Structure 1
């Protein structure tokens, strides 16, 4: 068992989890720093606090609200119309007074919802718990997905049929984000949609991937706006700024990084590494000041680019870990960092950085900790294997290995948002990179009705990444999805049309 890695739920059960299938939700973008709540009254102190921040419907009825977003579950279960939250309310807890950067695609705007499209492109929305909770060794609280769009996976409408039967009966605590039903069109604002497509795209895939390789520094410029670097600071930061950075790091970024890389290192050790990095600490302070200005409605230009660079630099803190040789859990985390970096940049992972393959025979699913660790190790091994295989040459053997790795990953997504995002990035890299004249202004239209058709899978994967860019459950997911979209753009800038 590797140290520092959180427990995971079996295929079909939640830990960071989602509904029992790979889905495409629209959760809110900043789950741990929500300030859009409504003041109210209640005679008991604890109940008063929860009612004070509750939705308009629960406050009017003077009942306890569970404060989920965009609509509370009390209203959903009682089939009442949830009137939402007052946008001018400000939370009173100290680290949450400064919010991270907003979404980048589309530009910041009031929270909007999508109406439910046809079954082939179903998209459901999430609720969100805004309270920052103490993280345990089992990892962050679960998030849940809704239905998978048809065509992304060949399994019947709801994903993981074989592994679900192996799921042990274990209580992992209360659900945070049960999937919402359809949005009431009478009260919902217009849906968030990309620009209208200029034309449909139906061409076949090229036999090999032919893209321009990019580096991480070029991916920070979300929405084509490069991050603005602060003046070099030589003086140590005052204690109150350190405390503010610590609160924001632990509440927002450490949790998101732990979930994405399936570890607890960022919460357990990351801040001490951050304190030792003078330049990154001053950059973090600069970002906090810019976020504060953005909340006041001034100087909002380029906030997402600032945050994208901040998140990746924080993610790379394990690379400065002083132990030599590093412990095994650091080795595992460094491998995962290298996998994600090469996945985003379109480059190939060195074979010696591919995580070791887990044993051929999985442990008994009743041994929950061992079984979930097995699934975690298996997923990252298959993703590392995928990123290491050269698909820029015509090779039947390489194509077969890539198909096998993608199929293996698809079967162990385990309802985890990070795995769904990484799997979608892999689909977009492998299939999207073989359509050199495609851009996001075109609508992907499959020539085949088969659910496993590459074009159909690519269309859903790219739609999912776009949605997560604006509506992922953590800032980490949002910014990494934005960097993935930036990579798509850069890789096609110098490629001539076919």
Structure 2
């Protein structure tokens, strides 16, 4: 299932607006974007594009996204904490909010950055390519080529930025591995997962992305109920246990008390839909 299909699984659609989009309501939309979603998206994709002029301009010029955000605010204002159905509706609507805002970056030019110099932190093409890599990861798709900037071996560049680019580059390389008849891809997948694991650096977004890569690599090898046969103590050197740890982490991140931002929580919940329940994007080998 594509990401937009995962988003739409609940059947939730934005509510009709009670009144036209006035300048006051647009200011509320902009404030919600600035305070909640843009920072969360930037943290997840490790970019500054969403809060810089390019990202803000993409929001302002997109009438459909503004109306959807206004409808989301409207539904939240009409729902109190005791309205279970209303709270669930708003929660489901937030999937669309998060993904539509993430997709604003697709207004940026598509190009593959190359060369010894890393692109700036607000580079639209690099941000766009990271979102597309994440979309392929969630959708169960593969990449024909790696669209992300290869990390240069340049000691003049801050080490943490090199590690950032390395992590995303290896994630995209992982998504180029397609099963082929007569070929055992296990060693290559393990190599790419190992490269990513060395670059987690305690960052929540990378932990989520790495866990999703682990699930995509290992889940096809086990039945859906494999967790019923797990031992009490998990040794992650065992692939089954490694898969169980990754699944639990993603499920925990999807909870209200899990991920540190709305963006992480909704992305983790989309991953649960894709890879765990109902898990339509896992094809058993």
Over 3 Å counting, the alpha-carbon distance change for 1:492 and 1:263 in structure 2 is closer
Deviations 1:279-315 (A, max 9, x none): 1110111111112223454422322221111111100
Over 3 Å counting, the alpha-carbon distance change for 1:324 and 1:379 in structure 2 is closer
Matched, 1:239 2:23: yes
In the alignment of these two chains, the number of paired residues is 271
Partner Cα separation in structure 2 for residue 493 and residue 422 of structure 1: 16
Q: 1:405 aligns with which of 166, 189, 192?
A: 192
The answer to whether the Cα contact below 8 Å between 1:220 and 1:483 also exists between their aligned partners in 2 is yes
Q: 1:475 aligns with which of 259, 262, 265?
A: 262
Matched, 1:331 2:119: no
Matches within 5 A, 1:49-60: none
Partner Cα separation in structure 2 for residue 458 and residue 419 of structure 1: 16
Q: Counterpart in 1 of 2:151? A: 358
Q: 2:224 aligns with which of 414, 438, 441?
A: 438
Structure showing greater radius of gyration is 1
Q: Counterpart in 2 of 1:382? A: 170
The answer to whether the Cα contact below 8 Å between 2:146 and 2:172 also exists between their aligned partners in 1 is no
Deviations 1:246-289 (A, max 9, x none): 11111110010000000111111322211101111101111111
Over 3 Å counting, the alpha-carbon distance change for 1:215 and 1:439 in structure 2 is farther
1:372 is paired with a residue of what secondary structure? helix
Structure 1 vs Structure 2 CA RMSD: 2.9
Matched, 1:463 2:276: no
Tell which has more relative contact order, 1 or 2 (C-alpha 8 A, sep 6+).
1
Give the Å deviation of 1:226: 2.2
Matched, 1:419 2:206: yes
Give the Å deviation of 1:444: 5.4
Partner Cα separation in structure 2 for residue 409 and residue 275 of structure 1: 36
Over 3 Å counting, the alpha-carbon distance change for 1:405 and 1:447 in structure 2 is farther
The answer to whether the Cα contact below 8 Å between 1:345 and 1:487 also exists between their aligned partners in 2 is yes
2:151 is paired with a residue of what secondary structure? coil
Partner Cα separation in structure 2 for residue 382 and residue 279 of structure 1: 35
Q: Counterpart in 2 of 1:194? A: none
Over 3 Å counting, the alpha-carbon distance change for 1:239 and 1:393 in structure 2 is farther
Give the Å deviation of 1:420: 0.4
The answer to whether the Cα contact below 8 Å between 2:220 and 2:283 also exists between their aligned partners in 1 is no
Partner Cα separation in structure 2 for residue 381 and residue 326 of structure 1: 12
Structure number with the higher helix fraction is 2
Q: Normalized against structure 1, the TM-score is what?
A: 0.50
Partner Cα separation in structure 1 for residue 81 and residue 210 of structure 2: 37
Matched, 1:253 2:37: yes
Over 3 Å counting, the alpha-carbon distance change for 1:490 and 1:286 in structure 2 is same
Q: Normalized against structure 2, the TM-score is what?
A: 0.85
Partner Cα separation in structure 1 for residue 282 and residue 111 of structure 2: 42
4+ residue segments displaced more than 6 Å = 324-327, 493-496
Deviations 1:185-226 (A, max 9, x none): xxxxxxxxxxxxxxxxxxxxxxxxxxxxx11122114xx622
